[in-house]
Structure 1
Amino acid sequence: MMTPLLFFAFLLLSRLPGSLCRVTTVGDLRVLEGRSVMIPCHYGPQYASYVKYWCRGSVKDLCTSLVRSDAPRGPAAAGEDKVAMFDDPVQQVFTVTMTELQKEDSGWYWCGVEVGGVWSADVTASLHINVIQGMSVVNSMVSGEEGTSVTVQCLYSQGYRYDLTSPL
């Protein structure tokens, strides 16, 4: 009876340092379809030399790795993956860039630091990205003088684009 209790205590204590040290990121995001997003993942100084990763899935242990710091991808070429990572150990942050997001890119994503070892859990943080169709205004408040022009910059998803040369 004592052996299982000791094993449980060892297992709990071996995971404790990982639970006290965290990875943090932004909250959940809403992104217009066709746009890009940059996600910062902050980590503690003790993880500067560790492998970082970005994966997708509702459960961290079953997520699909999209990019890793030991095999980073640069800017996406035509037809290549749309995810890139840059790790800055001095600032203790790795940044993930996702480009040309589509509705099917909506889902749960994880920033992770690969701690390694059988008894050590990776240090992670999750966020949900919701890719939406729609429009938004860059600045919702503009001012001007009577008789002058005002410029309002509007962003819209690909679903709202149409060919101006064809008849409506």
Structure 2
Amino acid sequence: MKYLIVGLGNIGREYEDTRHNIGFRVLDALAKASNIVFEDKRYGFVSEMRLKGKTLILLKPSTFMNLSGNAVRYWLQKEKIPVENMLVVVDDLALPFGALRLKGKGSDAGHNGLKHIQTILSTQNYARLRFGIGNDFPQGGQVNYVLSEFSEEEEQVMPERLEICCEMIKTFCLSGIQVAMNQYNNK
């Protein structure tokens, strides 16, 4: 059985450690823990890992955030993965920093990456793991905030949050969305 795990972010060194790229960081942590590396392929950086008889295709789209749906559609079709076996890791302004929420479906909540995926796939019915980045910015400062780097204090707890994200992804693939939500949400 195959799964597509998508980490949303923007390519380029100037975006590397920004809040908006937390999806890339989660996938980087998962790949590092599994001793696998990403390859530059069509529409993204891709890696493949095995997990107890399952195959996880890790995708960091190279299409920029607002066109993420193109990469997602291509890799779902190429690998013949049903949309219910896809999990998208995304930053979320509505959650305090480090809060993690797994959902089986939902709106794009104003996130341009999710909006494009929803448009291209014509559905909101796909799992997403929302990583809270907080919303400590002045009115009109959202763009600068999401494209800013995490604070020193946030970086200190980042390894633990990334490790939990990796466990959530593994649980999603091994036990399903319901078990993963029950085990990790609201903790």
Q: What is the TM-score with the length of structure 2 in the denominator?
A: 0.26
* Higher share of residues assigned strand: 1
* Higher share of residues assigned helix: 2
Computing the radius of gyration from Cα coordinates, the structure with the larger value is 1
Q: What is the TM-score with the length of structure 1 in the denominator?
A: 0.28
